[in-house]
């Protein structure tokens, strides 16, 4: 279990560094950069929820609620920006 | 120490308890609305948002993100330790999670001091209104989380037999909520 947590942390570190690097790239359109950054953030959000908060053990409702919420936030940001 | 064999698959018993998960959902929805509003205002005032964002320290914010993630890792490890009756591991986990949280608060204070000394406040422009409100509310959550961790660690040290697994899981879930909020705030405020 400790190894699983450690691998999750390593992946979260990798995604955070990727987030910071992506923000320095020049993209053809702003929406591409925003979409990439928000998708990386959503991946980290779900990793923390499912692995650190042990949401993978919970009832399907709680899993679906978190996935739908983060999808709504990312979609809302992409539509509004 | 009191542990139980909760069936987490039951709708009413997610890890951390249903009350805390309702709070988590409400918090995520609230911050989500704020982030969409921030994106909309970014669309209305792109130059102001770009120049204001350029005044933020991305390196410090990235470091803070890493600190919160490490802190969350130790918190999760502490819960596993407590569940396995390994009190030493649980204590170490709580302590390390608190160190991560305190370092986050320290770095955030340095960042705030820099902004205040540049006369950047809540009313400077729309971007900084969002900046102060969102990071400020998040910081309040971190401070509340630190108090919860302090109480849990103190109980674990003084009367471990009275501490329930449900309470440890609830405290951990609140601490992870601080991670969740920050993970979506960070790119919206500092990177986009």
Q: Where are the domains of chain B?
A: 18-191
Q: Is the pLDDT of residue B1 over 80?
A: no
Q: A53 and B66 in contact by Cβ < 8 A?
A: no
Question: What is the mean pLDDT of the segment spanning B164-170?
Answer: 95
How many other C-beta atoms lie within 10 A of the C-beta of residue A4? 11
Q: Is the pLDDT of residue B142 over 90?
A: yes
Nearest CA-CA partner of B166 in B37, B66, B19: B19
Question: What is the mean pLDDT of the segment spanning B158-170?
Answer: 92
Distance from CA of B161 to the nearest CA of A (A): 24
Least confident window among A72-76, B90-94, B158-162: B158-162
- Cβ–Cβ < 8 Å for B139, B108: yes
Q: Is the pLDDT of residue B91 over 70?
A: yes
pLDDT, position A2? 63
User: Which residue stretches of chain A are H helix?
Assistant: 2-22, 30-47, 60-80
Q: A77 and B11 in contact by Cβ < 8 A?
A: no
Q: Is the pLDDT of residue B117 over 80?
A: yes
Q: A48 and B183 in contact by Cβ < 8 A?
A: yes
What residue ranges of chain A have pLDDT lower than 50?
none
Q: Is the pLDDT of residue B10 over 70?
A: yes
Cα–Cα distance, A69 to A62 (Å, whole number):
10
Q: B62 and A62 in contact by Cβ < 8 A?
A: no
Question: What is the mean pLDDT of the segment spanning B120-124?
Answer: 95
Cα–Cα distance, B121 to B115 (Å, whole number):
7
- Cβ–Cβ < 8 Å for B110, B60: yes
pLDDT, position B170? 96
Establish, for the pair of chains A and B, how many residue pairs have beta carbons separated by less than 8 Å.
129
pLDDT, position B7? 86
Tell me which residue range forms the domain holding A74: 2-80
Candidate CATH numbers 3.90.1330.10, 1.10.357.10, 2.60.40.10, 1.20.120.80; the one for domain B18-191: 1.20.120.80
B4-10: Cβ within 8 A, 24+ apart: B4/B164, B4/B165, B4/B166, B6/B165, B6/B166, B8/A54, B8/A57, B8/A58, B8/A59, B9/A57, B9/A58, B9/A59, B10/A59
Which of A3, A46, A52 to mutate to probe the B interface, most B CBs <10 Å? A52
pLDDT, position B47? 95
pLDDT, position A22? 87
Q: A20 and B21 in contact by Cβ < 8 A?
A: no
pLDDT, position B4? 57
pLDDT, position A38? 95
Specify the number of domains making up chain A: 1
pLDDT band at B82 (very low <50, low <70, confident <90, very high): very high
Question: What is the mean pLDDT of the segment spanning B2-30?
Answer: 88
pLDDT, position B6? 78
């Amino acid at each position: 279990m400790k190894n699983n947590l450690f691998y999750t942390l390593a992946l979260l570190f990798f995604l955070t560094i990727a987030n910071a690097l992506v923000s320095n790239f020049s993209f053809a359109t702003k929406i591409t950069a925003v979409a990439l950054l928000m998708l990386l953030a959503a991946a980290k959000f779900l990793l923390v929820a499912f692995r650190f908060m042990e949401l993978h053990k919970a009832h399907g409702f709680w899993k679906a609620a978190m996935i739908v919420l983060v999808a709504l936030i990312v979609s809302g940001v992409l539509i509004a920006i | 120490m009191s542990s139980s064999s909760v069936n987490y698959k039951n709708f009413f018993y997610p890890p951390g308890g249903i009350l805390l998960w309702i709070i988590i959902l409400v918090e995520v929805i609230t911050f989500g609305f704020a982030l969409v509003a921030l994106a909309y205002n970014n669309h209305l005032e792109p130059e102001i948002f770009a120049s204001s964002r350029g005044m933020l320290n991305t390196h410090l914010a990235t470091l803070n993100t890493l600190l919160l993630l490490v802190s969350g890792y130790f918190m999760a490890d502490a819960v596993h330790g407590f569940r396995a009756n390994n009190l030493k591991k649980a204590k170490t986990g709580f302590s390390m999670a608190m160190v991560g949280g305190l370092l986050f608060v320290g770095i955030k204070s340095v960042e705030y001091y820099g902004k205040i000394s540049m006369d950047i406040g809540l009313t400077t422009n729309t971007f900084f209104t969002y900046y102060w409100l969102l990071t400020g509310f998040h910081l309040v959550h971190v401070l509340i989380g630190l108090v919860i961790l302090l109480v849990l660690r103190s109980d674990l040290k003084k009367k471990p037999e009275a501490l329930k697994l449900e309470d440890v899981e609830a405290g951990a879930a609140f601490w992870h909520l601080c991670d969740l909020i920050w993970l979506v705030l960070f790119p919206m405020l500092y990177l986009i």
